[in-house]
Amino acid sequence: MAVNLGINIDHVATLRQARLTIEPDPVAAAVLAELGGADGITVHLREDRRHIQDRDVELLRQTVRTRLNLEMAAAPEIVDIAVRLRPDQATLVPERRQELTTEGGLDVVQAKAGLQKVVSRLKDAGIAVSLFIDPDPEQISAARAVGADQIELHTGPYAEVSLRPGRTQPASIDDRLRGRFVPGTDQVAAELARLESAARQAGALGLILAAGHGLTYWNVAPVAAIDGMHELNIGHSIIARAVLVGMERAVREMKEAMGGAVR
Ligand code: PXP
């Protein structure tokens, strides 16, 4: 079955906020991403509002024709906004003020009681709930226990080892542009094995499986090929390419790269 691609458009808003102006508009970016074949639009409404603003989420709720996935901390103010706007899905993530981007998955084991309340409040509002977690057996069991519908596996560590220069390089620039990736090192294999084992556990527990963070045109294929994978959420790599070639083409090329698994 084809894997769905959710496009994280936060970085379109990052560019706008760099000048505190009105362009580029993430709402326009979402329309073009959908025209390029996106299966969903993801935005992270951070508590510090560093990129996506409340106005963006409100407009996206009205304009997104695929699925709107709201990434968010389990913070009361943001949960209230989610319950009011009712995105199709909420993805709970940890949030730290100083981080450049989300670092590490949620500690569901430690925050179980609080998360359980947030998950049921969101689900009662008709919102599907995904938890962004590390591919760790205890976290996956805890995600099931707090009532999540889906888990999004943190692919950051996989991305780290698959991108390090001199370790695992795409065979050529041409391969890189076509999204072909040559899994070359033990570290890459080990990270993929962790993701695959997490995927099996999620399947056994009846959790829908997603993954994301740090995925690019040349490291995405093996993750897209993991058995049971339902959705990938990708932001930086697609927006970086969209700046050069346009959003529709950047999305289309990522979908092609997801289909070209080299295992
Ligand atoms: N999934 C989650 C939960 C994230 O926090 C992010 C980053 O905002 C992404 C996916 C996308 O990561 P990237 O921008 O590295 O593709």
In this predicted model, what pLDDT tens digit does every residue of 85-95 receive, in sequence order? 999 999 999 98
Count, in order, helices (H) and strands (E) of the chain. Answer: 12, 8
* Catalytic residue list contains 213: yes
pLDDT number for residue 100: 67
Answer whether residue 195 shows pLDDT above 90: yes
In this predicted model, what pLDDT tens digit does every residue of 100-135 receive, in sequence order? 666 689 999 999 999 999 999 999 999 999 999 999
List, as own/partner pairs, every contact residues 26-33 make where C-beta atoms lie below 8 angstroms and the sequence separation is at least 24, other chains included.
Answer: 26/52, 26/56, 26/60, 27/56, 27/59, 27/60, 27/63, 29/242, 29/247, 30/60, 30/63, 30/64, 31/63, 32/246, 32/247, 32/248, 32/251, 33/7, 33/9, 33/247, 33/248, 33/251
Both tokens assigned to 63:
């304009």
Q: Whose CA is closest to 210, among 142, 130, 145?
A: 130
The whole-number average pLDDT for the span 12-32 is 97
Q: Please state the pTM of the whole predicted model.
A: 0.91
Atom of ligand 1 nearest to the CA of 239: 14
The whole-number average pLDDT for the span 236-244 is 97
The whole-number average pLDDT for the span 21-32 is 98
In this predicted model, what pLDDT tens digit does every residue of 198-232 receive, in sequence order? 999 999 999 999 999 999 998 999 999 999 999 99
Answer whether residue 160 shows pLDDT above 90: no
pLDDT number for residue 187: 83
Active-site residue, from 11, 51, 154, 213: 213
Most informative mutation of 50, 71, 238 for ligand 1 (most atoms within 8 A of CB): 71
pLDDT number for residue 164: 47
Percent with pLDDT over 90 in the chain: 81
Answer whether residue 146 shows pLDDT above 80: yes
Spatial CB neighbours of 110, under 8 Å, sequence gap ≥ 6:
none
Alpha carbon nearest to ligand 1 atom 1, residue: 212
Structural domains of the chain ordered from first start: 4-257 (3.20.20.70)
Peptide bond just before 165 cis, omega within 30 deg: no
Answer whether residue 166 shows pLDDT above 80: no
Active-site residue, from 11, 34, 51, 71: 71
Q: How many CB atoms lie within 10 A of CB 53?
A: 16
pLDDT number for residue 207: 98
Q: How many CB atoms lie within 10 A of CB 137?
A: 11
Whether residue 91 has its Cβ less than 6 Å from ligand 1: yes
Answer whether residue 168 shows pLDDT above 50: no
The whole-number average pLDDT for the span 65-69 is 98
Alpha carbon nearest to ligand 1 atom 9, residue: 213
Answer whether residue 261 shows pLDDT above 50: no
Distance, CA of 22 to CA of 26 (rounded, Å): 10
Answer whether residue 170 shows pLDDT above 60: no
Whether residue 71 has its Cβ less than 6 Å from ligand 1: yes
Both tokens assigned to 82:
């989610």
The whole-number average pLDDT for the span 7-31 is 97
CA of 214 to the centre of ligand 1 (A): 7
CA of 87 to the centre of ligand 1 (A): 17
Question: Among positive and negative, which fits the CA dihedral 150, 102, 154, 53?
Answer: positive
pLDDT number for residue 250: 97
CA-derived radius of gyration, the chain = 17
Distance, CA of 65 to CA of 30 (rounded, Å): 9
Q: Which 8-state DSSP code applies to residue 146?
A: T
How high is the mean pLDDT of the chain?
A: 91
Distance, CA of 135 to CA of 153 (rounded, Å): 6
Distance, CA of 164 to CA of 159 (rounded, Å): 8
Q: Which residues pair with 229 in a beta bridge?
A: 209
Residue with the larger pLDDT of the pair 1 and 10: 10
Answer whether residue 56 shows pLDDT above 90: yes
